Amino acid sequence: MILAVLFANSEGNILVERFNGVPVEERLHWRSFLVKLGAENLKGVKNEELLVASHKSVYIVYTVLGGVSVYVVGKDEYDELALAEVIFTITSAVKDVCGKLPTERLFLDKYGRICLTLDEIIWQGYLENTDKDRIKRLVRLKPPTEF
């Protein structure tokens, strides 16, 4: 199961988060753990260069995408190899939505579309769609939630 997907800015502020099967009381722990992990390891990392960690019998794959950091946490069948596919799908879709590598500002400008896209990729903790064209088509069918 994919337990969490988080996007954070360079200061460690969470921009988007999705949790699946993680109790509310544990979410704060995961937020702070992932932000600390990124602060310690993502400096100087190239865009989309994947880093892997494990914590409490779960796997974490994370990277930098322009001005944001992306974290994906999984367990069971979602080991580091499966999570690499998940994060690749997510980063490709975000780049498509933004038209290029996102800065924090561009990411926030496209927030609604990114959330819709993320919801089409991951459904109830499982990778649902990986085909770019299908994801774009499904997102176009839904009304935008941008502010």
Count of structural domains, the chain:
1
Domain-located, residue 147? no
Q: Which two tokens stand for residue 49?
A: 């260069």
Q: What is the enclosing helix (H) or strand (E) of 139?
A: helix 132-141
Entry pTM: 0.89
Task: Give the domain extent around 68.
Answer: 2-139
| Among 129, 125, 106, residue whose Cα is nearest residue 117 | 129
pLDDT of residue 110: 93
Percent of the chain whose pLDDT exceeds 70: 94
Domain-located, residue 69? yes
| Among 96, 98, 97, 85, residue whose Cα is nearest residue 126 | 85
Which CATH number belongs to the domain containing residue 57 in this structure? 3.30.450.60
**CA of 82: how far to CAs of 11, 53, 95, 130, 142, in Å?**
28, 14, 20, 12, 28
Contact 61, 42 (CB under 8 A): no
| Among 65, 3, 73, 71, residue whose Cα is nearest residue 38 | 71
Q: Dump pLDDT digits (tens) for 56-83.
A: 789 999 999 999 999 999 999 999 999 9
pLDDT, the chain, mean: 90
pLDDT of residue 143: 56
pLDDT of residue 144: 54
Domain-located, residue 32? yes
Domain-located, residue 10? yes
Domain-located, residue 87? yes
Domain-located, residue 97? yes
Residue with the larger pLDDT of the pair 120 and 130: 120
34: how many CB neighbours lie within 10 A of its CB? 24
Q: Please tell me whether residue 69 adopts helix, strand or coil conformation.
A: strand
Domain-located, residue 145? no
Domain-located, residue 33? yes
pLDDT of residue 147: 46
Instruction: Provide the pLDDT confidence category of residue 142 given band limits of 50, 70 and 90.
Output: low
